Structure 1
């Protein structure tokens, strides 16, 4: 933001980008140039990474034959979602709006083989080094109860640690896509069949996948997102 924009209260273009970054699921089949996809990955790489380890990898699928093989997996995952979590509108959500979203999800499901590009962010956390002295010091710092909770919640902590190294980059990718006029949306439904997806894409067993992001030129138009007002979600100083 320039000195002038700070003085006048003018918002930088980034705010306009964020406020119109809808999940766009209806895509044209037209290819996305490799140089634009490279720019999306560059934006993702600029995101923060825990300890600056940068152990992320991005699988970018543009081959129609590969996409055709992924399409049945996508269909199974989407159908499983629509049969369970996505069967009913969330509490408080307008039924008509939810119906439109489901229609877009089904459209994407039925046309997945024509998706121009798919980005699959991956991460492989390094094996932790065992340091007995460090573990004793950590336990002393945390106290017995918190140490026990840390041990029992290790799996959740590990998942969140990896996710915190990946999702900031994914958000950068989504913002970059919107800025370039591309449609994209973040999904994790593939995790229901992650083993099959990894096998199809040749992703090593020890590497975790965190999203499947379809990318292409939008059939619709961008517009304001519908979100809860800040006054409903903010808690100042404490809950």
Structure 2
């Protein structure tokens, strides 16, 4: 975990299907809300498909670097930021040669109407809280889906690290999600949650740079 850096410089050498399946297996072992297991994983290794996706990736990277990624984050060493930017640009410029992509997707199973259950829920929460719940339903559903995907993604990243594979989680594709879904024939009612490039590393794994734990713990309340 302490050496799970975002590895963006990849060799063009292919990754065996057996290893990619092991990564997805690790993801599937992650938790799933209500054990619904509504996830699917699109695995891309075809160079022709990768070449079609490369322009979309470049547009998303350029848009990110023009906005949120265009300034040194507070507290980050400027030299470290420049190294990160250089790696991002390297990945953008060599994306067509990425050995593999894994795209975690999720389709939330539509629950059956349960009037009696809703009444019991209102009784348990109270009228005011139930109203807030209804108003915040869109956010809650988004978090419900995400909580059934991202723990599996972390499993995948850790499994990749254990196998000596480089990988990094990105969500930049969401700026052009419709175009990505069209390029990969992903159904409209399926949501995508990340694009994870995977390959053999050009660089070295190393310690991650994070804030000291004593600066992020708040005990017994904020």
- In terms of mean alpha carbon deviation, does 169-178 or 90-99 score higher? 90-99
1:111 aligns with 2:94: yes
CA distance in 2, matches of 1:136, 1:49: 26
Match of 2:202, SS state, is coil
Within 5 Å, which residues of 2 pair with 1:56-71?
Answer: 56-71=39-54
- In terms of mean alpha carbon deviation, does 97-106 or 111-120 score higher? 97-106
* Residues matched between the structures, number: 222
1:36: which partner in 2? 19
2:119: which partner in 1? 136
Match of 2:148, SS state, is helix
1:90: which partner in 2? 73
- In terms of mean alpha carbon deviation, does 53-62 or 124-133 score higher? 124-133
Q: Which runs of 5+ in 2 are unaligned?
A: none
1:127 aligns with 2:110: yes
- In terms of mean alpha carbon deviation, does 160-169 or 90-99 score higher? 90-99
Match of 1:19, SS state, is coil
Aligned residue among 145, 149, 155 for 1:162: 145
Q: Which runs of 5+ in 1 are unaligned?
A: 1-17
1:206 aligns with 2:189: yes
Q: What CA deviation, in whole Å up to 9, does each residue of 1:36-87 have, x standing for no partner?
A: 1111011111111111111110000000000000000000111110011111
CA distance in 2, matches of 1:42, 1:171: 12
Aligned-pair CA distance for 1:148: 1.6
Contact kept? 2:61, 2:172, Cα under 8 Å: yes
Match of 1:118, SS state, is strand
TM-score by length of 1: 0.91
TM-score by length of 2: 0.98
1:188: which partner in 2? 171
Aligned-pair CA distance for 1:136: 1.8
Runs (4+) of structure 1 moved beyond 6 Å?
Answer: none
